[in-house]
Amino acid sequence: MSLPGSNSARHVAIIMDGNGRWAKRRHLPRAEGHRRGVEAVRRIARAAREMGLEALTLYAFSTENWRRSEDEIAALMGLMKRFILSDLDEFVANNVRLRIIGDYKAFPADITKLIDNALARTAGNDGTTLAVALNYGAQDEIARAAAKAAAQGAVTVEAIEAELDTAGMPPLDLLIRTSGEQRLSNFLLWQAAYAELWFTDVLWPDFKPEHLAEALASFGTRERRYGGR
């Protein structure tokens, strides 16, 4: 855990919200909003590495997203495949380690195979960790972790933390949500217990490195007490 008063974030998470509204305001299909959202993922992942973050976790596909239309889900799956295929070599070259939180095995076999390959190819990297939440829900994660802890003995805070999808990653310092919404939407509920929160009206496709820098600067001014005083 970062020490109280520390102004350097190690682990940042982002709820990438606003793709649909970005497209609607421009009278474009939702799929175009998602495509521009992937471009934002690319530039923010690069910025996180350049800014020296140890870990960046992105909320890409929640367990609730299966309720969307078949066409939108298909478009999201296609974008996911293209992102992995186009950016994997860059991750490898820049010492980025890819990690998935959530049950990505629920995705189609071709996507699962691509993800498995990406995880294997970046497993030895020890630079920035890019964690992508796929088919992820925090309540489900906590329930799974508690069940695993119970199967091994006493259910303690430490035992649950050891079984979370984020086990081994730095504690979450800062959680960002774009688009003006101010809720956690079942994302990293356990990890966010003492994380700082930062909300912006900027829609995700418009989110740029300078916005990330602004959020980190805000984090740097905050005094973290962890309930001590």
In this structure, the strands spanning 196-199 and 129-136 are: unpaired
Task: Give the total number of structural domains in the chain.
Answer: 1
Domain assignment present for residue 28? The answer is yes
**Count of CB atoms within 10 A of residue 71's CB?**
11
Domain assignment present for residue 36? The answer is yes
Report d(CA 18, CA 55) in Å as an integer. 23
Domain assignment present for residue 118? The answer is yes
Catalytic residue (one of 19, 65, 117, 206)? 65
Domain assignment present for residue 2? The answer is no
- Model confidence pLDDT, tens digit, residues 108-151: 999 999 999 999 999 999 999 999 999 999 999 999 999 999 99
Domain assignment present for residue 1? The answer is no
Percent of the chain surpassing pLDDT 90: 93
Report d(CA 44, CA 111) in Å as an integer. 23
pLDDT classification of 63: cutoffs 50, 70, 90: very high
Range of the domain at 204: 11-220
Q: Is 17 a catalytic residue?
A: yes
Q: Is the pLDDT of residue 3 over 80?
A: no
Domain assignment present for residue 163? The answer is yes
Catalytic residue (one of 17, 87, 165, 173)? 17
- Please identify which residue in the block is written with the tokens 């530039």: 43
CATH number, domain with residue 195:
3.40.1180.10
Domain assignment present for residue 4? The answer is no
**Predicted TM-score of the model (pTM):** 0.93
Domain assignment present for residue 226? The answer is no
